[in-house]
Structures are given as C-alpha cells and as structure tokens.
Amino acid sequence: MKKTFLLVGFLLFTALTFAQKDTTSVDSFKFTIVKQNKITPVKNQASSGTCWSFSALGFFESELLRMGKPEVDLSEMFVVHHSYSDKADKYVRMNGTINFAEGGSFYDVVYALKNYGIVPESEMRGLNYGEEKHKHAEMDALTSAYVKVIVSNPNKSISTAWKTGFDGILDAYLGQCPKEFMVNDKKYTPLTYEQSLGLNLDDYISLTSFTHHPFYTKFAVEIPDNWRWSESYNIPLDELMSVFDNAVNKGYCVAWASDVSEKGFTRKGIAVDPETKVANLPGTDQAKWLNITQKDIDEKVYKATYPQPEVKVTPELRQAGFDNYQTTDDHGMVIFGTATDQNGTKYYMVKNSWGTESKYKGIWYASETFVKHKTIDILVHKDAIPKEILKKLGIK
C-alpha cells in the first residue's frame, strides 16, 4: 500500500510539473512561460481609480519576495488616504488649477512610504462605508466638490477648518490612519514598520521614453495624474525595452504605467496592438476599393481569436500618440515575466488589480509591441537597469 501511495504521489507530482511547463490557451492564444518572477496574490481595486496604489505596492511586495523577505500584504488605502489629503493641499494652493481626481502615479506611493510609512492591509482595509469591495464614486464626488468649494472662497478667505473637514471625509470612508499597531507581538508605527521592511526607496528609478525632451535628462511626464510633478529619466525607446528584459531576466519586477483604453487591451487577459490598415487585413483586396467602415475594420481585427500581425512601433509613432491624446495614462500594473505564443511572439506577463475573475485569473499577457507602443513610464530597482544605461544617466 505504501509503495502504491508513493507511486501515485510521484505520478501526480510529475503531472503537475509537466502541466506547469505546458502551454495555456484562451480562445486561440497559446502561451508558454519563458520566465516568471515572484509576485503576491492578485487584488481587486474594484470600483476605485486607485490602480497606482495597488500596482506600486504590489511591485514593492514583489521586491520584498525577491530580497528573500516574508510575504506581506500592504494597505493600499493607507497610501490613498495620505495622497488624497496631500492632493487637496496642493489643489487649494494652486487655486484649483491642477487635476483633482482619483488617479495618481507610482511616485505617490514612494512619497507616502518615505514620509508616512505603511501599515499591513489587516490594519486598514479602507472599507468603512458598508461595502465588501472598494467603491469610491461617492467619496470621490464629495472630496472633489469639497475642494472646489474651498477654492471658490465663498467667505473671501479660506477658513482654518477646511483641512480638518476634508480629512474627516477620508476618515469616514477609509478609516483613520493607524498611529500604532502590533505585528508578530511587536509594536510599530507606520514609519517604523516601513523601515522594518528593509526597502531602500532611493534605489528605485522612474524611466520613460519620449522625444519632446532630451534623452538622458529628467522631466515631469505631462499627464494629469502626475500632480506631484515627479520626474522620470528619459531614455531612447530601444533602451527602455532593454530595461524590461534585463529586469525580468535578473529576477526583478517592473511597475508599469500604460494606456489600456486601446481595443487591443481586452478583458480576456490579452493586450495586443494589431495592424489595422485595410490593405494588410486578410481578405480585403476588394474591400479596400469599397466603402469599408472603421467598424468593419474593428470587427475583423479586434474580434479575431488568433494572433494578428502588429504595428511597427517607432519613437515617432509613440510621440504622435502621446501628443494627440491617443496614448493616455490609464492604468498601473506589474510586469513580472515573459512568455511566447504559438507563433513565437514575445509577451510580458502582467499582474493586474482587477480581481481574478478573468481568463488567466488576474494575469494579462501583453505583447512586446503593445508594451513598446503604450508604455507611459516605469518604476524599477536601479540594479535592474543595464549598467551602460545607468552610466549615461549618471546613476551609481
């Protein structure tokens, strides 16, 4: 009997081992994993515009795993609370001339970790309003209306009570930020807990690639959600793509800000950038001489269930998309691996924050072309950047 159990166990182990190396298919895409690094479980931002907090904290959680630290679950809403409060301050100081919305950047999380610390998710879930999942429409409408009233100065001067009132809204919906708490029978403040994690936040570098600023210099990417005006190093596109590969291959994850409003970014866990020129579509030799509509093109391109030829991405194409609002800063995610489809096309494995009710249980496969075309900026550990690029940037 013991030998039988051992044999069954061996066969199950073997089957599981081969299953992990086998391909996975959704529709007609079949992916084979090439490299994947450690990540923490997929979370769900639900009906909130806080992907920047989920993705950046997920990135730092992966960094801790890479460093050999225990898995932690950090509170996104602790960061959101502090960031909304800071954003209100800046909005009022700027007399309402900056963006006040739910969006943010990876730097908001870096700033919060440095200046306010962090708490475990168990200490601050941010669900103080009778819901099991995040629903921020009411809170966002209230906070936005509140700061607009303050800026309008109905009393011709700003009262000394406005900030207490604003933070009171955040406290009511998200809960008060803990001042002290216990982890493994040890007392922490948010700052001492962040310090205990062992992250050196000065080691994390933001990179981008656009041609309207000189390469190897820093600039604040001109997007509404970059309300802190944080700066990114600007490098050529090919070098930016080399950072993705160098990072993943060396065991690092990448915090990835991208445009996901494109039709090629589907709810099925796929992100592709198909060529949409009529002349290049299958079966359209005659159609190109007829009155074919954009809807007809979209039907043929975006509803296909097999890998399609993709666009040829150039720096000029990226810049044009950014300048004419076709490429927008929509979403933050974490790139943690690479895979290939049945045609040998490379994809990046992406941890999303939309829960696990998708084809790949919260993981997306983004083609190299999509990433090359639609990346806004990234956050990565400096040791994940090739040394020759660091040298050009003057980073040691």
Asked if 37 and 49 touch (Cβ cutoff 8 Å), the reply is no
Q: Are strands 218-220 and 204-208 parallel, antiparallel or unpaired?
A: unpaired
Q: Which two tokens stand for residue 379?
A: 């956050």
| Angstrom distance (rounded) from CA 85 to CA 107 | 15
Q: Are strands 331-340 and 29-36 parallel, antiparallel or unpaired?
A: antiparallel
pTM of this structure: 0.88
Nearest to 102 by CA among 376, 356, 332: 332
Nearest to 383 by CA among 8, 25, 10, 67: 67
Residues 6+ apart with CB under 8 A from 171: 81
List, for residues 167-213, the tens digit of each pLDDT value.
Answer: 999 999 999 999 999 999 999 999 999 999 999 999 999 999 999 99
Is residue 266 helix, strand or coil? coil
> What is the pLDDT at residue 279?
44
CA 161 to chain centre: 35
Residue whose pair of structure tokens reads 């589907």 in the numeric block: 266
| Angstrom distance (rounded) from CA 297 to CA 287 | 10
CA 300 to chain centre: 29
Asked if 37 and 46 touch (Cβ cutoff 8 Å), the reply is no
By CB atoms closer than 10 A (0-12, 13-18, 19+), residue 14 is exposed
pLDDT along the chain (396 residues), means of 10: 42 42 57 98 98 98 98 98 98 96 97 98 98 97 97 86 98 98 98 98 98 98 98 98 98 98 91 70 41 54 67 97 95 98 96 96 98 98 98 97
Nearest to 121 by CA among 48, 53, 47: 53
For the domain bounded by 23-273+310-393, which CATH number is listed? 3.90.70.10
List, for residues 222-272, the tens digit of each pLDDT value.
Answer: 999 999 999 999 999 999 999 999 999 999 999 999 999 988 998 889 999
By CB atoms closer than 10 A (0-12, 13-18, 19+), residue 377 is buried
